[in-house]
């Protein structure tokens, strides 16, 4: 038989082999798409967005033992509240500590008073690390904007008050969410989106408060402020008690 008579069979074999390869590639693509969809669904709770706003890392690089009560940095508006200054800390909401969250609290080691070291994934460790970085930058950012807006006297005080009020309101919002979440079995997309919605509302209103203490002609300049730079990561502290329910979401569903 002449060689050219084998050509149709060779083409058919090549088509079959090629279709097998394409089928494998299609299955791999479908698997990847499914995994991406699942991760995207995990982020729909809104905590991924909130975590980026507050600049909470996925894992602490240098986790430390929990701080003792009263040792918080006074530069933090949340620390001021804890020490009794400014507005009183929210008392209506005291989240319960579930079993998962209990493992990440300031539990004591077997030898007595010595607290255990936090894991890099522990929310408290991540918040503290974020606060350290925030403190090194926020004072510089405040000074730069006060100079740019030429704020002095009462206007300067109003600027500081607006930012502190922003952090206190964010803390209240997160605390209320933690209280609701402590009564539920799981985090829901609604709660996450409500948190993000309240957060953005508070930030938007802060722009208006700062605009009120500056010259009218500087309003466009104020609109260029990165308001998230002034958010104290400590506003997320109420979530520590319920991190077993939100931890995967607050890191965008990664690491699971």
Average the pLDDT over 51-61 and give the result.
84
pLDDT bin (cut points 50, 70, 90) of residue 28 is: low
pLDDT bin (cut points 50, 70, 90) of residue 103 is: very low
Highest mean pLDDT among 14-23, 33-42, 50-59, 198-207 belongs to: 198-207
Average the pLDDT over 103-121 and give the result.
50
**Other beta carbons less than 10 A from residue 24's beta carbon:** 10
Is the confidence at residue 209, as pLDDT, over 90?
Answer: yes
pLDDT attached to residue 149: 96
Q: Mean pLDDT for the chain?
A: 73
Segment among 80-84, 90-94, 212-216 with least mean pLDDT? 90-94
Residues sharing a CB contact under 8 Å with residue 87, sequence separation 6 or more, in sequence order: 81, 168
**Other beta carbons less than 10 A from residue 249's beta carbon:** 22
Torsion of CA 155, 199, 238, 119, to 10 degrees: -100
Burial class from Cβ neighbours inside 10 Å (0-12, 13-18, 19+) for residue 105 reads middle
DSSP conformational letter for 182: T
pLDDT attached to residue 98: 42
34/181: higher pLDDT: 181
Of residues 182, 58, 185, the one with CA closest to residue 123: 58
Q: What global pTM score does this model have?
A: 0.66
**Cα radius of gyration rounded to whole Å, the chain:** 26
């Amino acid at each position: 038989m002449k060689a050219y008579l084998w050509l149709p069979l060779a083409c058919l074999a090549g088509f079959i082999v090629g279709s097998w390869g394409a089928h494998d590639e299609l299955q791999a693509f479908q698997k990847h798409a499914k995994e991406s969809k699942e991760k995207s669904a995990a982020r729909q709770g809104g905590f991924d967005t909130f975590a980026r706003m507050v600049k909470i890392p996925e894992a602490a690089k240098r986790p430390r033992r929990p701080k003792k009560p009263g040792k918080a940095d006074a530069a933090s508006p949340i620390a001021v509240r804890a020490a009794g200054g400014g507005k009183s800390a929210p008392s209506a909401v005291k989240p319960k500590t579930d079993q998962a969250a209990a493992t990440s609290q300031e539990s004591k080691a077997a030898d007595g008073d010595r607290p255990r070291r936090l894991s890099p994934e522990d929310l408290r460790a991540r918040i503290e690390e974020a606060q350290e970085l925030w403190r090194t930058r926020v004072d510089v950012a405040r000074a730069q904007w006060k100079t740019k807006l030429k704020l002095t006297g009462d206007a300067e005080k109003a600027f500081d008050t607006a930012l502190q009020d922003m952090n206190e309101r964010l803390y209240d919002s997160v605390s209320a969410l933690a209280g609701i979440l402590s009564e539920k079995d799981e985090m829901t997309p609604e709660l996450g989106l409500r948190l993000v919605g309240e957060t953005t509302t508070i930030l938007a209103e802060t722009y208006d408060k700062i605009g009120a203490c500056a010259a009218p002609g500087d309003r466009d300049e104020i609109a260029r402020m990165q308001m998230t730079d002034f958010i104290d990561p400590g506003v997320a502290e109420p979530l520590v008690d319920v991190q077993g329910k939100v931890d995967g979401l607050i890191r965008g569903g990664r690491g699971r």
